[in-house]
Amino acid sequence: MRFRVRHTTRYDYAEDVSVSHHLLHLTARPHPRQSVHHSALTIHPAPAVQSSHTDYFGNTVTYVAMQEPHRQLVLTAESEVEVGPPPPLDAASTPSWESVRDSLGGLSGPEDGAEVVQYRFDSTLAAASPTLHDYAAHSFTPSRPAAEAALDLMRRIHDDFTFDPAATTIATPLAEVMRHRRGVCQDFAHIVVGCVRAMGLPARYVSGYLRTLPPPGRPRLVGADVSHAWASVWCGAEAGWIDVCPTNARRADQDFITIAWGRDYDDVSPARGVLMGAAGHTLSVSVDVEPLEENGAP
C-alpha cells in the first residue's frame, strides 16, 4: 500500500509566546517493510532555527526555535510512504519464550545484539511490576512459543480493557490503567511493553498512524485518521520483531505507518517543547491517511 499522510498540529496561545523551542518526531521512518518516498515539514510562523538529526533509536528528530512573539504555532508534516505486509508467521514454530529470554546474552551484531537487549530494561513509562508480571504470566505459560505468547497477550488486553479517551492522559501511571482497565492505544501499547519486559523479554513502543476504513457506502473523511501506537516484541533471532496492536487485536500490517520507535512514548512524542509566555493554550490535531490507489496514483 502507498499512502500520503498529512499530520497538522495547531497550538493557539492565550498570550504572546516570546521564545519557544521544540523537538518533533513527525517524519516517517524507513524500515524493511516501509519505504519513505517523500517527507516535508512546514512550520508557521517560520522558525528562526530548524535542524534535523537521527536520534539514538534511529528516528528523525527535528529541532525548531521560535524567537519572535507569536500566538499560534502550526506544524504540518507530510509524507508519502509505501508499506508492505509482514512476513508470514507460524507462531507455533517460534522458540519458547524462556529460550528467547535466555539467549539474549549470546546475541551479537548491531541489529540483534545491543539493539535488541536495550529494550529489555525498564523505562519511565513502561516499567515492569509484579502486577504486570502476574497479568503476563497467563499468556507466557511454561514452554509456550514466544510469538504465540505475544499474540495471546495482545488479544487478552483487547478483550480485558475498554478504549476510553477520557480515562487517561499520557501521564497516567500503568498501575492505574491496570486497575481501571480503561485507556487508549498509548496505554495498551505500554501494557504490552511492560508485561513483556516483566517476563524478561525485549519490547519496544512504536508510534505512527493507522489507516481507517469508512463504513460501507460512506466516503472517507479527510482528517478522520488519528495518531496511533502499538508494540513490537522480540520473538527470537529467526522471527525477529513481531508488531502487535492490542487496540485492534491484530498484527501491524500494511495499514500501519511507522513514524518512530523507542522505549516508550517519552522517547517518541510527536511534539514537545519549552516556551516563555502564554498563560495557556488550546491544541488541535488533524491526521489524514490517504491511500494513493484510491486516486489512481502510481
Give per-residue pLDDT as tens, 42-73.
999 999 999 999 999 999 999 999 999 999 99
Rounded Cα–Cα distance for residues 43 and 141 (Å): 50
pTM for the model stands at 0.92
Position 205 scores a pLDDT of 98
d(CA 158, CA 246): 5
Looking at residue 215, its pLDDT comes to 67
d(CA 225, CA 73): 21
pLDDT recorded at residue 296: 43
pLDDT at 279: 67
Radius of gyration of the chain (CA): 20
Q: Which helix (H) or strand (E) holds 44?
A: strand 34-44
Distance between CA atoms of residues 64 and 87, nearest Å: 38
Give dist(CA 194, CA 75) in Å, integer: 32
- pLDDT recorded at residue 295: 44
Q: How many CA atoms lie within 13 A of 78 on its CB side?
A: 6
Beta bridge partners of 211: none
What gap in Å lies between CA 147 and CA 149, rounded to an integer?
Answer: 5
Give the pLDDT confidence score for residue 155 in this predicted structure.
Answer: 98
Q: Which residues of the chain have pLDDT under 50?
A: 223, 295-298
SS3 assignment for 59-115: CEEEEEEECCCEEEEEEEEEEEEEECCCCCCCHHHCCEHHHHHHHHHHCCCCCCCHH
Q: Which H or E run includes 250?
A: strand 250-251
- Residue 227 has a pLDDT of 87
State the Cα–Cα distance between residues 153 and 142, nearest whole angstrom. Answer: 14
- In the numeric block, which cell numbers belong to residue 200? 524478561
